Amino acid sequence: MGLIDQLLTLYRVDSQVRGLRTRVDNAERYLRVQDRQLEQIKSDQSESELHIRQKEATASNIETERDGYTERIEKLRDELNSCTTSKQYSAVQTEMKSLKEQADELDTQALEILEELDTARGQLALVVESATERVTIRESAASDLEQRRIDVGDRLSELEDERSQAAAAVPEKALTIFNKVADDTEGDTLCEVREVSRRHREYACGSCSMELPFDAVVRLTNSDNDLVQCSGCYRILYLAESLKGELAK
C-alpha cells in the first residue's frame, strides 16, 4: 500500500473518530457554558441578598434612631406641663420642633429605603427564578453529556484502535504532517485534486480552489509515495483513481 493510500485510510478513520469526539466535545462545552452561567447567576444572587441585608440593616437603624427621637419628644411633651416660665416652655417647644423635623426626615429616608427594598426583592426573585431554570438546564446538559459518552463509548474505542493501527503504518514524517494539518483544519486533512482544464493543464485544490502547479499533479500521477500539500490551505492532496488512470495513459 502506497503512502497516499495509507493516508487516505488514516484520514477516513480519523474523520470518524473526530466526528464522535465532536459530539462529546460539543456536549462538554455546552455543559461548561451552563456551569459558568449558573455560577454567574449564583454570584448575582449572593450580591442581591447582601444588598438586601444591608438595606434592611439601614432601615432597622433608622427605625431605632427615629424611635429614640419619638421617645424624647414624648418626654418633652410631659415636661411642658411642668414648665414654670414661658422661657422654659419655649425652649422645650423649640427642642420638640427640632426633634420632630429630624424624625420626619428619618421617616422620609425609611420610606425611600423600603421602596428600594421592594425593588431589590423583586429583582432577587427574578434572579432566583433564573437560577432555578438554569439548574434544570444544567442538569439536562449533564445528562445529555453522560448519554453521549455512553452512546459513542464502545464505537469510539474501536475507532481509536483502528486509528492507532492506521497511524502505525504511516512513516513518522508523513504522520507528523498529517496530524498538524488535521488539527489545523479540524480533521479536513486530505483533499482531492480538481481538474479545471486538462487541455490547458489547469488543476486546483478541491478545498480552497488554489491553482496547483502541473508538476504537483505529475508527482501524484506517477507516485503513490509522494506527499504533496496545497500551497494555499496546506491540505494533503490526492488524485481520484479515475483521474489518475486517465492522466497516466
User: In 3D, which of 47, 160, 53 has the Cα closest to residue 117?
Assistant: 53
Strands (E), the chain: 190-197, 202-205, 211-212, 236-238
Task: Report the C-alpha dihedral over residues 141, 147, 148, 149, rounded to 10 degrees.
Answer: 110
Compute the mean pLDDT over every residue in the chain, rounded to the nearest whole number.
Answer: 93
What local confidence, expressed as pLDDT, does residue 82 receive?
A: 83
Q: What percent of the chain has pLDDT over 70?
A: 100
Mean pLDDT of 117-135: 95
Please check whether residue 65 is in contact with residue 103, taking contact to mean a CB–CB distance below 8 angstroms.
no
Angle ∠(156,162,164) on CA atoms, nearest 5: 100
Average pLDDT, stretch 159-167?
95
Task: Please give the distance of CA 91 from its chain centroid, rounded to a whole number.
Answer: 69
Q: For the chain, which domains are there?
A: 3-168 (1.10.287.1490), 175-248 (no CATH)
